[in-house]
């Protein structure tokens, strides 16, 4: 158990570079945060009924997770384990939380992004599933970090992150809660990159498991989930017609592949921007036009960033854009667009010209539209990934949590991969729930593939 907040030394560490948003807690904030971090903090409990309907609807499309939940309820593999999760608070996440609770975990949930929370879901989690939840859509920066403080104060022995903000807090402001953590699961690409950087610098204090890097996560969630839900968010926010438009996708990683392929399927003329020559070449051979951002800026109708990198659309790019260009981010937090620069360039900013759409008017009258304040457009403007794909990501999360508990004390303070057997199991079960059978290796084939003595 961590010591009580009031007795803890409160110290600032100069390096908060792992923080998504450069931010340092003020000394006077701490008391407020600790006071808030008691039970739950959600927008409105009267939204619970609608939240519950949506959680159960999503559950229909999450059969693998449901099967794991059934087993967890019988076997109680997480019994008595204090857990804190910092995730996008969506209907799918709610079903993951139900699974961890069924396994016996004493769980607390906070938001991993100020705009991704579904307020009806957080209400239902508190009211119907008795889960202490700290998440309000549109929460300000202080509240966001107060909610992370609440998750730390729970004194978890296992954590779950989507972007490493909780791990970051446990390494800095709340480091006195880090001592007894047996493992932390990381859900997304950027989080894994940061955690590997921490490992390399010798700064990682406890074991981390890179759930993002599991095949059953990034191959499906990043590609098909982000691919579909990003376009869904853009369409809901703007009523944009994809057919015939020039769509610029920045980053041809797993998310970029998904977004660009789906935009092309809907009739858009898709341009890719990359910095990695291998990925750029792959985009060329997949049939996309590839060019630097400074050229693409002048021709795009819609811009989507999915890089995990900072300021990939910056002042010179905004300066070149056409009147009416729509710009959004589906990569990391709110850092991919340089909105401070855009704000300085603007003569006027009209907030909320449509729900979650801000209009920046530049000198000469040119208008640029930013969706969801530059935060993840699929979560800010839509509902995140479809449940069917989150079924695999969260089944992998649940099984990896069980693995971490079984291996408590054996994992070292580095970034670990998810065991291959978990990927195999989740894929097999997903195929089964889809009614799809596959072939099995014969004994002869197994031998052939594993030996070098059988000749050519």
Ligand X SMILES: NC(=O)c1ccc[n+]([C@@H]2O[C@H](COP(=O)([O-])OP(=O)(O)OC[C@H]3O[C@@H](n4cnc5c(N)ncnc54)[C@H](O)[C@@H]3O)[C@@H](O)[C@H]2O)c1
The residues binding ligand X (CB under 6 A) are 188-190, 218, 222, 226, 250-256, 273-276, 279, 306-309, 312, 330-332, 376, 378
Q: How far is the CB of 339 from ligand X (least distance, A)?
A: 16
- What does DSSP say about strands 269-273 and 246-250: parallel, antiparallel, or unpaired? parallel
Q: How far is the CB of 99 from ligand X (least distance, A)?
A: 20
Nearer to ligand X, 100 or 335 (CB): 335
3-state secondary structure of 186: strand
Nearer to ligand X, 241 or 281 (CB): 281
Q: How far is the CB of 214 from ligand X (least distance, A)?
A: 12
Q: How far is the CB of 184 from ligand X (least distance, A)?
A: 16
Nearest position to ligand X, beta carbon: 253
Q: 250, 313 in Cβ contact below 8 A?
A: yes
Nearer to ligand X, 310 or 353 (CB): 310
Which pair of tokens denotes residue 387?
């449940």
Q: How far is the CB of 230 from ligand X (least distance, A)?
A: 6
CA-based R_g, the chain, Å: 22
The candidate with the shortest Cα–Cα distance to 313, out of 395, 361, 371, is 371
3-state secondary structure of 230: helix
Q: Hey, how many other C-beta atoms are within 10 angstroms of the C-beta on 193?
A: 17
Nearer to ligand X, 155 or 189 (CB): 189
Nearer to ligand X, 150 or 376 (CB): 376
3-state secondary structure of 311: coil
Q: How far is the CB of 379 from ligand X (least distance, A)?
A: 6
For residues 239 and 237, give the distance between their C-alpha atoms in angstroms, rounded to a whole number: 6
Q: How far is the CB of 310 from ligand X (least distance, A)?
A: 8
Q: How far is the CB of 294 from ligand X (least distance, A)?
A: 11
Q: Hey, how many other C-beta atoms are within 10 angstroms of the C-beta on 453?
A: 6
The candidate with the shortest Cα–Cα distance to 396, out of 157, 255, 218, is 218
Nearer to ligand X, 178 or 302 (CB): 302
3-state secondary structure of 406: helix
Nearer to ligand X, 33 or 96 (CB): 96
Q: How far is the CB of 117 from ligand X (least distance, A)?
A: 14
Nearer to ligand X, 84 or 188 (CB): 188
Nearer to ligand X, 11 or 17 (CB): 17
Which pair of tokens denotes residue 377?
């457009």
The candidate with the shortest Cα–Cα distance to 117, out of 92, 130, 135, 94, is 135
Q: How far is the CB of 113 from ligand X (least distance, A)?
A: 9
The candidate with the shortest Cα–Cα distance to 397, out of 189, 184, 121, 193, is 184
For helices 63-75 and 387-406, angle between their N-to-C axes, nearest 10 degrees: 30
Nearer to ligand X, 51 or 308 (CB): 308
For residues 55 and 388, give the distance between their C-alpha atoms in angstroms, rounded to a whole number: 13
Q: 103, 79 in Cβ contact below 8 A?
A: yes
- What does DSSP say about strands 302-305 and 106-111: parallel, antiparallel, or unpaired? unpaired
């Amino acid at each position: 158990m961590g010591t009580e907040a009031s007795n803890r030394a409160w110290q600032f560490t100069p390096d908060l570079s792992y923080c998504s948003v450069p931010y340092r807690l003020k000394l006077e904030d701490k008391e407020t945060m600790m006071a808030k971090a008691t039970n739950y903090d959600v927008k409105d409990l009267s939204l619970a009924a609608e939240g519950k309907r949506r959680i159960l609807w999503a559950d229909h499309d999450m059969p693998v997770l449901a099967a794991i939940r059934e087993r967890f309820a019988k076997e109680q593999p997480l019994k008595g384990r204090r857990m804190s999760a910092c995730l996008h608070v969506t209907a799918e996440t709610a079903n993951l939380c139900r699974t961890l609770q069924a396994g016996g975990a004493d769980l607390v949930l906070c938001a991993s992004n100020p705009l991704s929370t579904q307020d009806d879901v957080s209400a239902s989690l508190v009211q119907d599933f008795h889960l202490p939840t700290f998440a309000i859509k549109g929460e300000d920066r202080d509240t966001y970090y107060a909610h992370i403080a609440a998750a730390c104060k729970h004194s978890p022995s296992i954590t779950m992150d989507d972007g490493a903000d909780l791990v970051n807090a446990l390494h800095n402001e709340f480091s006195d809660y880090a001592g007894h953590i047996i493992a932390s699961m990381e859900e997304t690409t950027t989080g894994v990159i940061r955690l590997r950087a921490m490992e390399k610098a010798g700064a990682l204090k406890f074991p981390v498991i890179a759930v993002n890097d599991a095949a059953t996560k990034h191959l499906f969630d990043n590609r098909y989930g982000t691919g579909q839900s990003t376009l869904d968010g853009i369409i809901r926010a703007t009523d944009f017609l994809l057919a015939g438009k020039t769509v610029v996708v920045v980053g041809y990683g797993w998310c970029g592949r998904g977004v660009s392929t789906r935009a092309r399927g809907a009739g858009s003329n898709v341009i890719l921007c990359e910095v990695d020559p291998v990925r750029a070449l792959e985009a060329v051979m997949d049939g996309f036009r590839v060019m630097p951002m400074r050229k693409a800026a002048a021709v795009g109708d819609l811009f989507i960033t999915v890089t995990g990198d900072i300021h990939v659309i910056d002042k010179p790019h905004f300066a070149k854009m056409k009147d009416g260009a729509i710009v959004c981010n589906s990569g990391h937090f709110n850092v991919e667009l340089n909105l401070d620069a855009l704000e300085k360039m603007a003569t006027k900013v009209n907030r909320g010209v449509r729900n979650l759409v801000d209009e920046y008017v530049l000198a000469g009258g040119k208008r640029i539209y930013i969706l969801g304040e530059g935060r993840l457009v699929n979560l800010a403007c839509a509902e995140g990934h479809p449940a069917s794909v989150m079924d695999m990501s969260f089944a992998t999360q649940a099984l990896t949590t069980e693995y971490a508990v079984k291996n408590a004390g054996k994992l070292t303070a580095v970034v670990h991969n998810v065991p291959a057997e978990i990927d195999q199991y989740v894929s097999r079960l997903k195929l089964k729930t889809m009614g799809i059978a596959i072939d099995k290796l014969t004994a002869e084939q197994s031998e052939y593939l594993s030996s070098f003595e059988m000749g050519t």
